[in-house]
Structure 1
Amino acid sequence: IDDVQRAKVQPDFDLLDVPRDRFVIAGDAWARCRAGDADPSTFGIFDMRGLWFVAGNLLRDLAALNNMEMLPWDVWGAMIRPDEALGDDRLALFDRLSTITRAPDAAFAELCRLYEGNEDLRVPPTV
């Protein structure tokens, strides 16, 4: 994080050792939004907010857990557009991703199988 970002965000903790209770991971954010315990518009940055933003970070977390660390603006496959309505199948997929990315050690085999077995979840050669 550079000086401009630091001035805007004003973190009050060590950014190299973020306390678990100070950063909501995508899986937790998705689960809270879907349960009605959180407003999707509170997740994001600047004018990029909402459930689509959380879903994108779920995919980036899944990729990172499969040794593919992506940039925040990388978009591919199953990523949701800001104005896109989601059907039950897509919601169920992201619900499952939320569950397995919140406890990756417990669901590691499934996490890898989903990633490798679904072309829309897998990071393509070029993003």
Structure 2
Amino acid sequence: MSTSIDHARHTPYSDPGRHAERLAAVPADPAALSAVARNVIVHYLASGAELPVATRGDINARWLEHLLTLDQARHPAPLAKRRRLVDRVQGCCRDHTLFSVGVLRSHGVAARSRVGFAGYFIDGWHHDHVIVEAWIDGRWRRFDSEIEHPRATIPNPLDIGHCDLDTPGFVTAAQVWAGYRRGGVDPETYGVGPDVPVFRGARFVFDQVIYEIAHRFGDELLLWDAWGRIGEPGSPVTEEDAVWMDEIARLLLASDRGDADAERALLERYRADPGLHPGPSVLQASPFGDPTIEVDLASR
């Protein structure tokens, strides 16, 4: 079994399947592909528009091929051709990122999704967020394909520098967990939103680190899927789980610093530990409050 991941190759989640030609026609340039991602996908909560109830199930399109099938059923046209906002595929940051990663991999560019928190939407709050990380010009470059225009807190969405916890940029879930365990982070300011009391805090950050490692190694699952040691929202994190997570976060942070040994150890740990790696199925919850269901990951 390989001890590394080729991020230029499609995963089952980013594979466009029957839509390969459509996706390959999208340029690999971050600005261009981000514009197309926003044209195809609309955030199910943050668009400012009243989106159709009939298409809200779009948000569970975990496979890029499925997402593109939804789009093409409504718009059998090139992906760059303008879609009306209300007719776009409903999704979130994970989907904008998966689309962008899919485009880049279709062009042979190494790319992966990074899971963490963005401090550039609301002052003093850190939203759970997913952005793109691609190997461009000899470095891992991060960009947010969901954001169209620069703002004071993110002057260049197409090249987001690696930030520390005191900067209102993007930080990984592992950074936040490590900061929390050092006593320098209030986890109650990290979550879905300041008006959502349950989906925040230490449990939420803990679960996000599991999402982070899964996405890093090609299991780009939905942000409301559960498996392994992902816990009930709002539940306490045991000291045993916290110590277990400390080592995972340490390996993630070392890997981001370019430690190849840590990256190999992290991948081996991910593959071997059922607390980290999803099995043949996951539990899919719903941001709309629909019943939780078990989803067979082999039934693409």
What band does the TM-score fall into relative to the shorter chain? 0.7 to 0.9
Which residue number corresponds to residue 166 of structure 2? none
Determine which structure has more spread, i.e. the larger CA radius of gyration.
Answer: 2
Q: Which has the higher helix share?
A: 1
- Give the ranges of 4+ consecutive aligned residues of structure 1 lying more than 4 Å apart after TM superposition: none
Relative contact order, higher structure (CA 8 A, sep 6+): 1
Q: What is the alpha-carbon root mean square deviation over aligned residues?
A: 2.3
Structure 2 residue corresponding to 1:18, chosen from 152, 157, 160:
160
Amino acid at match of 2:162: R
Distance change in 2, residues 1:30/1:122 (3 Å): same
1:109 is aligned to 2:264: yes
State the 1:18 CA deviation.
3.2
1:41 corresponds to? 188
**Structure number having the greater strand percentage:** 2
What is the CA–CA distance in structure 2 between the aligned matches of 1:56 and 1:15, rounded to whole Å?
26
- Single out whichever of 56-65 and 12-21 deviates more from structure 2: 12-21
User: Which segment is superposed worse, 103-112 or 34-43?
Assistant: 103-112
TM-score by length of 2: 0.38
SS in 2 for 1:92: helix
For 2:215, the aligned partner's letter is A
The sequence identity of aligned pairs, in percent, is 26
| Per-residue deviation, 1:71 | 1.8
Match of 2:250 in 1: 99
- Answer whether contact 1:77 1:119 (CA < 8 A) is retained: yes
Q: How many residues align?
A: 126
Alignment of 1:1-127 (within 5 A): 2=42, 5=46, 9=121, 12=151, 13=154, 14-21=156-163, 22-46=169-193, 47=196, 48-104=199-255, 105-106=258-259, 107-127=262-282
Counterparts in 2 of 1:90 and 1:32: CA distance versus 1, 3 Å: same
Separation in 1, partners of 2:192, 2:237:
22
The offset of 1:15, in angstroms, is 4.3
Question: Given that residues 40 and 50 in structure 1 are in contact (C-alpha distance below 8 angstroms), is that contact kept between their aligned partners in structure 2?
Answer: yes
Question: Could you report, residue by residue, the CA deviation over 1:9-54 in whole angstroms, capped at 9, with x for unpaired residues?
Answer: 4772354543322111101100111111010101111212111111
